[in-house]
Structure 1
Amino acid sequence: MRHLPDHILLTPQQMGAADAASAASGISSFGLMERAGQAVAASALRHFSGAGRYAVLCGPGNNGGDGYVAARALADAGASVAVYHLGDPGRLKGDARLARQLSRLPSQPLENYLPHPGDLVIDALFGAGLARDVPRLVAELIDKVRQANVPVLAVDLPSGLCGRRGRPLGAAFAAVRTVTFMTRKPGHLLLPGRSLCGEVEVFDIGIPARIVLSVAGKIRENRPDLWRDLLPEPESDTHKYRRGHLAVFSGPADKTGAARLSAMAGLKAGAGLVTVASPDDAMPVNAASLTAIMLHRIDTAEDLETWLHTAKLAAFVLGPGFGIGEKAKQFVLSLRDRPLVLDADGITSFRESPPELFDAFTGGESHLVLTPHEGEFSRLFPDLAADEDLSKVEKAVRAAERAHAAIVYKGADTVIASPDGRAHINTNGPPWLATAGSGDVLAGMIGALLAQGMPAFEAAAAGVYLHGEAGKRAGKGMTAEELAAQAGVGFSA
């Protein structure tokens, strides 16, 4: 039975620290390898029982040791097994050397492997610890296996895939299934790694939970148990103002739809009141389209300042369809002391002067949520966006620290980061969320949670997850209007 929360993720470096701490505590490192290899063999027999041959590819390190154990277990079960080694097996050390000796199976050089119909490749070449491009020999073999359409079962992580960044290092196997140990790595969740891992099994090989928790950093999969207790729940005596008043800023008359999407999503997601703050020229079109959502004219920064002093406003969304320019900057700076979701045009308005935005929100508890997609992220954080050595998680965390804001770095593998170093990788969003207006709905949902009193990071994480659940309910072919209609149904977890 696993005793670790499923949302914990370890980087390859942290997993190495867990292995070392486990050995230092007196736990047999070979015993861990034995259990790992046996788990791989069991998965191979369970999920690929029809394979005519199990081709086990063993690398020069401990991942290869897992492969030798798996090969022995498969042979003991009566399966047809062929073992191939990378490098000189005579140079193996420690547990990997012992695993090869105990297997007593002949092996051939890796270059001798030719994919056959009916094969299952068990990839035990490198695992999660690889930090350089794969050798040409391995890249060529990966291509051969792909062309032959032979299924791959990966040990720990498909070889060639960076466990920290989720990116191929020159080339990487595309596995049908991956068996990893104790916890998943960021590379299992970040793209394109997620698509290269296939189904991921996590097997407990016996490292104590206390050791894993002691080395774990602040990266998690975005799951409800991380923020569920902070979700606002209306009580019997709750009234609309206690549930928070959310204001969403509209653009000009020909660009009002995005703000209305955000406003509707905010209302559905639980804000007690929602008002669209509209310029004068857009008042008629907004008035014709709003019922439960209120409308207030705001043309200038002076209008906004007056409104802030006379209305009970809990949180704000600025950016969807608003327009890029000085007006957006003035409005944002007027809101420096208020909970704010800054999206789209609001972000781009600061592309020439990102420090002006960051400096305005420094100090105190973070109350700014930035929701950039890839292009918008590069406008605010060009140096981070260009750094290929950083993972998406690392980029988001550094951006959050710099901006003193919760960052929602959007994409199919959205990362939510906090200035204190916490980062959640989101995985529940269906691919059809990639549609016009989806981001406007997300901004409104996060804004509603801010208005109800959730802290910025937790509001952002919850909003992203609930947005994914809303997308599932809306279904394939959904429109943003249909997505917004699902924004308040809740989640199943």
Structure 2
Amino acid sequence: MSEIGLDWLAANPLPQPDSDTNKNERGRVLVVGGSNRVPGALRLTGEAALRAGAGKVQLATVERVAIALGVAMPEAAVFDLPANPHGELGADVIDAVAEMVQHCDALVLGPGMGANAEAEALLATILAAAGCECAILIDAGAIGDCPPVAQAIRAHPAPVILTPHAGEMALLMDCDEQDVTEAHATLAAERYDATIVLKRADSWIAGPGVDLHHYEGGGPGLATAGSGDVLAGIIGGLLARGASPEIATGWGVWLHGEAGRRLAARIGPTGFLARELLPEIPALMVTD
């Protein structure tokens, strides 16, 4: 088992852009999710991807909130998609999203989605799309739809990352939430042939052919609404930059946790907001 800290970061550096790079070369992230009930989740995820160094971000969400989201985040391109009667992404969006995925380096699927989104059908179509070779991070409302498409996840030619908390891990592994331990991260990595980030008070990362990694946690203040959306965006941005799943998740968990530590020291151990994590990220990536 490896502890994620400064020594681990030094041994596993992030890929760095050339001085003459452009925004496409720095990586393109597509974030798909949101709903009428949780319209701002994609703003957190999209900004986190940019703060982690990605060059371009596209946000695909329900049409009712798309304009407001675009105004709140002028750096992003926004696609408005039809909502189902529950205010979630419905079956009508599947073909459009499958086309969008062809033009990104990393897809983050799930932030802001609820139980009534068509996540399973959407995920199945993306995984089956000819020529789809982008890295995929599956988060939040889309995680519970992974078991029926486990074979397709295993067959995806590019990295797949799943970021469950204990309740979502129980859905992934068909077990009781109270029985979830760090061992389930390794078991899920084997079952889905994917990198797993088990989010608890401390975090555990497992992946195919790599040691189990542990991060001791960034404090109780990170147990707040939107915090997971930020983590997903950080990891997605690092993936788009070309980091391996192991490096993207290890650095992502550390950046998220250390941002929480900084805010706890400055503001207080609890009470800071998920969006306040975002400005901390760029400076934390400079560890020299």
Q: Same fold (TM over 0.5)?
A: yes
Contact 1:384 1:395 in 2 (8 A): no
- Flag the 1:386–1:278 CA change in 2: closer, same or farther, 3 A: closer
Please give the residue correspondences for 1:69-468 in structure 2 after superposition, counting only pairs within 5 Å.
219-228=1-10, 229-299=12-82, 300-309=93-102, 312-325=103-116, 327-336=118-127, 337-350=133-146, 354=147, 356-363=148-155, 367-383=159-175, 392-468=181-257
Counterpart of 2:72 in 1: which secondary structure?
coil
Q: Look up the equivalent residue of 2:105 and give its one-letter code.
A: A
- The aligned residue for residue 85 of structure 2 is none
- Flag the 1:326–1:473 CA change in 2: closer, same or farther, 3 A: closer
Contact 1:393 1:417 in 2 (8 A): no
Residue 487 of structure 1, CA deviation: 2.3
Aligned mates of 2:154, 2:226 — CA distance in 1: 30
Aligned mates of 1:290, 1:421 — CA distance in 2: 36
Contact 1:401 1:420 in 2 (8 A): no
Aligned mates of 1:464, 1:371 — CA distance in 2: 10
Q: What TM-score, normalized by structure 2, do the two folds share?
A: 0.84
Contact 1:318 1:346 in 2 (8 A): yes
Aligned mates of 1:225, 1:237 — CA distance in 2: 30
Would you say 1:469 and 2:258 are equivalent positions? yes
Relative contact order: is structure 1 or structure 2 higher (C-alpha 8 Å, sep ≥ 6)? 2
Aligned mates of 1:227, 1:366 — CA distance in 2: 23
Residue 295 of structure 1, CA deviation: 1.1
- Flag the 1:433–1:422 CA change in 2: closer, same or farther, 3 A: same
- Flag the 1:364–1:224 CA change in 2: closer, same or farther, 3 A: farther
Contact 1:320 1:343 in 2 (8 A): yes
Residue 416 of structure 1, CA deviation: 0.6
Q: CA RMSD in A?
A: 2.2
Cα deviation digits, residues 37-74 of structure 1 (max 9, x gap): xxxxxxxxxxxxxxxxxxxxxxxxxxxxxxxxxxxxxx
Cα deviation digits, residues 6-63 of structure 1 (max 9, x gap): xxxxxxxxxxxxxxxxxxxxxxxxxxxxxxxxxxxxxxxxxxxxxxxxxxxxxxxxxx
Q: Look up the equivalent residue of 2:97 and give its one-letter code.
A: L
Which of 280, 283, 287 is equivalent to 1:489? Answer: 283
Which residues of structure 2 form unaligned runs of 5+? 83-92, 128-132
Cα deviation digits, residues 63-120 of structure 1 (max 9, x gap): xxxxxxxxxxxxxxxxxxxxxxxxxxxxxxxxxxxxxxxxxxxxxxxxxxxxxxxxxx
Aligned mates of 1:253, 1:304 — CA distance in 2: 18
Q: What TM-score, normalized by structure 1, do the two folds share?
A: 0.51
- Flag the 1:334–1:227 CA change in 2: closer, same or farther, 3 A: farther
Which residues of structure 1 form unaligned runs of 5+? 1-218
- The aligned residue for residue 110 of structure 1 is none
Aligned mates of 2:261, 2:277 — CA distance in 1: 9
Residue 323 of structure 1, CA deviation: 2.4
Counterpart of 2:283 in 1: which secondary structure?
coil
Contact 1:253 1:285 in 2 (8 A): no
- The aligned residue for residue 16 of structure 1 is none
- Flag the 1:224–1:361 CA change in 2: closer, same or farther, 3 A: farther
Q: Look up the equivalent residue of 2:75 and give its one-letter code.
A: A
Q: Look up the equivalent residue of 1:241 and give its one-letter code.
A: N
Residue 384 of structure 1, CA deviation: 8.0
Residue 305 of structure 1, CA deviation: 2.4
Counterpart of 1:423 in 2: which secondary structure?
strand
Cα deviation digits, residues 211-240 of structure 1 (max 9, x gap): xxxxxxxx1112344354440222211110
Residue 324 of structure 1, CA deviation: 2.4
Larger Rg over CA atoms = 1
Counterpart of 2:281 in 1: which secondary structure?
coil
Counterpart of 2:38 in 1: which secondary structure?
coil
- Flag the 1:315–1:405 CA change in 2: closer, same or farther, 3 A: same
- The aligned residue for residue 87 of structure 2 is none
Task: Say which is worse superposed, 361-370 or 260-269, in terms of deviation.
Answer: 361-370
